[in-house]
Amino acid sequence: MSKFVFVTGGVLSSLGKGSFAASLAKLLKEGGVKVSVMKIDPYLNCDAGTLNPFEHGEVFVTRDGFECDLDVGNYERFLNEFAVHEQNLMMGSVYKAVIDKERRGDYLGKTIQLIPHATNEVKARIRSCAKVTGADVLIVEIGGTVGDLESEVVLEAARQMNFEEPPEAVTFVHLALVPTITTGEAKTKPMQHSVKALLARGITPNFLVARADSMLTNPVKEKIALFCNVREENVFTSPTLDSVYELPLTLEKQGVAQRICERMHVKFEDGKLDEWKKLVGRLKELREKGPTVKIGVVGKYATGAKDAYMSVFESLLHAGVHNDVHVDASLIDSEALEKGKANLSEFQGILVPGGFGGRGVEGKIAAVKFARENGVPYLGICYGLQLAVIESGRNLLGFKDANTTENEPDTKHPVIDILPEQKTVTEKGGTMRLGAKQVLVLKGTKAFELYKSEKITKRFRHRYEINPEFVKQFEEAGWVFSGKDPEREIMKIGELKDHPFFMGTQAHPEFDSRLEEPEPLYYGFVKAAKGRAE
């Protein structure tokens, strides 16, 4: 019998519900609880694959090939576990399932309604996630803000579960903003209103978490307790922190996991976050005292765009800690680079992350050229590998029109071409080459030096690949394809021989990086950048 903790949010979005859910899960795990985390997104999309990453953040890919919300990436990083597709539910897939059943005649004669048909589907998915993950406690983060029209069905399903499950097997944690105004006062009214909105939906929160600039004082907590019907000792703070990795430590000090477990009658032994504490301390120390390595990540630019490359930035940070450097990574606008309005000379390493389409692509290729010609460590991720191959095609092999057929279908030198099985694919949702696949690593290469294994598994999300017809020519020009598909002619890792560090991969290794254990390719890249800095 699993127990469920629902995490809801009030007042506004982007409060850090995901970081809170991940941190709580971390504490429960350390405390000996078998825990998992699930995210429910109220959108009408069926998965995150078709969402704009510059509005919603990175599309994270589970090993079983689901394109999901970036919060799932946080769950993986905090729990140091691989997630499964059941851990992310987008409401489009719920409505689709209900309508498919209606068409099949599964409900013949019935009037199909949000309650009970859609809510039943939501509850079934939540329970199935608990079952698949084997969680004794499943934390369910409900996306959006209480009061949003689209979240109503999800909240209603949660309310019903509270009623259906045994007493105290369902707990509600509500996170809301407690802003500080110019007088220095922390204002509780927005939180009070959002709790009222929750109560109106039949949900009484058991715990409240104030998202605030600093820790709430006791009088403020008292006030919240009085107005919101939650005991003072069950009101916590999620303060603004330098690093999200500090949050489990802050919550631990407040006894959050302990109190929640007490209420749910779940056995909890006080955690031993020793290793985590050490790493977070080291992170802080390096940030304050250095040494620092500057990395330029060349991508599309928009406000908040760092979230669109979240796992990449996290991986660089992890790799920094284990290389004893602070990684100062900034996002460089590829379009500005294209127009000659950006400069790369201050960086000790250049990274081109995954991407799609033609916008800013010549700027990214210019960044590759700069790194290759100046011996600056380079790491190309997916599109970043493909563009590195295009750059070599143009400037080492002399194919002036070398390109990817993604952007130039009629090029005479399609050095990057569509995967054969993708040629007949017409639908866009969930149809890329997705999920974890094996990579054979060639001995005697830099890739082998870093992975120390001939067989690794990495995650993928792409439609195009290095055209096998050109592989020989690239090899003659100095490329070594050090990682390949075990069964097919797909190049998965490539490196340039006469360069301190010039590597690219068709995979997304950033999904595997952890604070405790950096991903080898990122580790090697930051190490090379550190070498250059010295």
413 binds ligand GLN (CB under 6 A): no
Of 381-400, binders to ligand GLN (CB under 6 A) are 382-383
Whether residue 233 lies in the annotated active site: no
Q: Which of 30, 67, 508, 519 is catalytic?
A: 508
Q: Check residue 309 for interaction with ligand GLN (CB under 6 A).
A: no
* Helices 17-30 and 256-264: angle between axes, nearest 10 degrees: 70
CA distance 517 to 112: 49
Q: Which is nearer to ligand GLN, 227 or 356 (CB)?
A: 356
Which among 131-139, 189-197, 292-300, 462-470 is the span making contact with ligand GLN, rule CB under 6 A? 462-470
Interface with ligand GLN in residues 330-369 (CB under 6 A): 354-356
228: annotated active-site residue: no
Instruction: Rank residues 355 and 524 by Cβ distance to ligand GLN and give the closer one.
Output: 355
Sequence-separated (6 or more) residues with CB below 8 Å from residue 329: 294, 295, 296, 297, 313, 316, 317, 351
Q: Which is nearer to ligand GLN, 10 or 380 (CB)?
A: 380
Strand ranges, E, within 43-86: 60-61, 67-68
Q: Which of 462, 484, 499, 527 binds ligand GLN (CB under 6 A)?
A: 462
Compare residues 144 and 354 and give the one whose CB is closer to ligand GLN.
354
Closer residue to ligand GLN (CB): 294 or 359? 359
Whether a cis peptide bond, with omega within 30° of 0, leads into 167 is: no
User: Using CA atoms, how far apart are residues 18 and 403, in angstroms rounded to an integer?
Assistant: 39
Binding-site size, ligand GLN (CB under 6 A): 10
In the complex, least distance from residue 325 CB atom to ligand GLN, rounded to whole angstroms: 27
CA dihedral 338, 342, 345, 351 (to 10 degrees): -60
Catalytically annotated residue among 156, 246, 382, 499: 382
Nearest distance in Å: CB 416, ligand GLN: 8
Min CB(37)–ligand GLN separation in Å: 25
Q: Are 443 and 434 in contact (CB under 8 A)?
A: no
Min dist. Cβ of residue 475 to ligand GLN (A): 21
CA distance 467 to 479: 14
- Shortest Å distance, C-beta 404 to ligand GLN: 7
Position of tokens 């990083």? 77
- The residue (of 17 and 462) whose beta carbon lies closer to ligand GLN is 462
DSSP designation for 143: -
DSSP state, residue 7: E
Q: Is 464 in the site for ligand GLN (CB under 6 A)?
A: yes
What is the identity of the amino acid at 323? Answer: N
For ligand GLN, give the closer residue by CB, 464 or 525.
464
CB 146 within 8 A of CB 198: yes
Residues 224-253 that bind ligand GLN (CB under 6 A): none
Q: In 3-state terms, the chain is what percent helix, strand and coil (to 5)?
A: 45, 20, 35
3-class DSSP assignment, residue 217:
coil
Is residue 463 close enough to count as binding ligand GLN by CB under 6 A?
A: yes
- Burial class of residue 71 in the structure, from the number of CB atoms within 10 Å of its CB (0-12 exposed, 13-18 middle, 19+ buried): buried
CB of 359 to ligand GLN, least distance (A): 12
Which of 372, 361, 449, 345 has its CA nearest to residue 402? 361
382 belongs to the catalytic site: yes
Site for ligand GLN in 422-461 (CB under 6 A): 461
The answer to whether residue 259 forms part of the interface with ligand GLN (CB under 6 A) is no
Q: Which of 406, 495, 512, 519 binds ligand GLN (CB under 6 A)?
A: 406
Active site residues: 382, 508, 510
Site residues, ligand GLN (CB under 6 A): 354-356, 382-383, 406, 461-464
